[in-house]
């Protein structure tokens, strides 16, 4: 299998493009005379564009380019048209006057696995489906009433976390260690438990927490890893760094755990789950649309992805 190392300057440029505005045809407008109007920026090289202008310290490079070209900068990162906003005033004008034009996010190859980029609200295209998700999250998950009701659950999850930390410290000392613990691991596990209670109305088992913790770490790693195939489109089918393949493998582990949660609830409903307060999973499973403004029902993949993205 072919393996390619990724140059450091490409990595920096790619990570930067995630926070900048990556555009397709919407990134330029035509003037009355037919000329394309774009923000100023340095001329790019064939194929690689302005990647070499970014260098290994993008923030410093951008500051220098801002002095030369102004607060709105136009770059080509490989084939990607990228506009960089470097002032509060320019950002305010952009989002006030052109919010919908720049509402979409540029998805990379890794997050296309399992249709994630078409289902998750954070990266899916703006439209009817996105508006339905926003309405559901706003009205069913993030409302004040539900947040206040979850206070005892959150306190319980914090208490559990403190017990886990104490147990781990004792176990570490028992093994001859210093008693130090990896706090980030336990805060993640606590967050998983909070979300699990809000969505599924139940605690996660230790094996489920472990699978989610390891799977989410891998998911974030592959989603954020600079991918040569995103900058050179004809390499997508080759997947030279095996990022898409690894994402499918590790995201598959996450989907398996979440599918277990969903199947458990479906089975409970078939047995006549009654007199139980509905949670967010019930909302997703029972959703019915008109088939015009978004889907009539959420597919199994939609439900799994919507649950995954809450973590």
Residues 238-272 have pLDDT tens digits of 999 999 999 999 999 999 999 999 999 988 888 87
Query: How far is the C-alpha of 40 from the C-alpha of 69, rounded, in Å?
Result: 6
SS3 track for 161-224: HHHHHHHHHHHHHHCCCCCCCCHHHHHHHHHHHHHHHHHHCCCCCHHHHHHHHHHHHHHHHHHH
Those residues with Cβ within 8 angstroms of residue 140's Cβ, 6 or more apart along the chain or in another chain: 146, 280, 283
Instruction: Give residue 54's pLDDT band: very low, low, confident or very high (50, 70, 90).
Output: confident
**Enclosing domain of residue 288:** 128-310
Whether residue 299 is predicted with pLDDT greater than 70 in this model: the reply is: yes
Task: Please count the structural domains in the chain.
Answer: 2
Residue 150 has pLDDT above 70, yes or no: yes
Q: Same domain, yes or no, for 192 and 251?
A: yes
For position 159, which CATH number holds?
1.10.630.10
> Is residue 261 domain-shared with residue 165, that is, in the same domain?
yes
Q: What is the pLDDT of residue 177?
A: 84
- Same domain? For 168 and 240 the reply is yes
pLDDT on residue 9: 37
Is 209 a domain residue? yes
pTM, full prediction: 0.74
85 and 132: one domain?
no
């Amino acid at each position: 299998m072919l393996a390619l190392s990724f140059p450091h300057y490409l990595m920096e440029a790619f990570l930067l493009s995630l926070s900048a505005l990556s555009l397709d045809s919407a990134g330029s407008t035509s003037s009355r005379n037919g000329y394309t109007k774009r923000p100023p920026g340095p001329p790019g090289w064939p194929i690689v564009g302005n990647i070499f202008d970014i260098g290994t310290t993008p923030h410093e490079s951008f500051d220098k380019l801002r002095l030369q070209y102004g607060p709105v900068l136009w770059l080509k990162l490989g084939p990607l048209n990228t506009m960089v906003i470097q002032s509060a005033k320019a950002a305010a004008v952009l989002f006030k006057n052109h919010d919908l034009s720049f509402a979409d996010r540029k998805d990379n190859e890794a997050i296309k696995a399992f249709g994630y980029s078409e289902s998750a609200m954070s990266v899916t295209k703006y439209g009817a489906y996105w508006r339905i998700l926003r309405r559901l999250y706003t009205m069913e998950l993030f409302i004040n009433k539900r947040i206040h009701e979850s206070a005892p659950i959150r306190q319980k999850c914090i208490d559990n976390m403190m017990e886990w930390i104490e147990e781990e410290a004792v176990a570490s000392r028992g093994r001859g260690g210093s008693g130090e613990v990896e706090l980030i691991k336990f805060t993640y596990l606590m967050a998983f438990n909070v979300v699990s209670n809000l969505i599924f109305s139940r605690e996660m088992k230790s094996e489920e927490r472990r699978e989610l913790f390891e799977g989410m770490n891998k998911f974030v790693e592959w989603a954020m890893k600079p991918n040569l195939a995103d900058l050179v489109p004809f390499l997508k089918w080759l997947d030279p760094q095996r990022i898409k393949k690894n994402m499918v493998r590790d995201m598959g582990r996450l989907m398996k755990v979440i599918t277990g949660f969903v199947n458990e609830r479906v089975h409970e409903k078939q047995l006549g789950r009654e007199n139980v307060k509905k949670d967010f999973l019930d909302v997703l499973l029972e959703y019915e649309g008109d088939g015009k403004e978004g889907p009539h029902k959420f597919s199994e993949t939609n439900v799994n992805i919507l649950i995954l993205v809450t973590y």
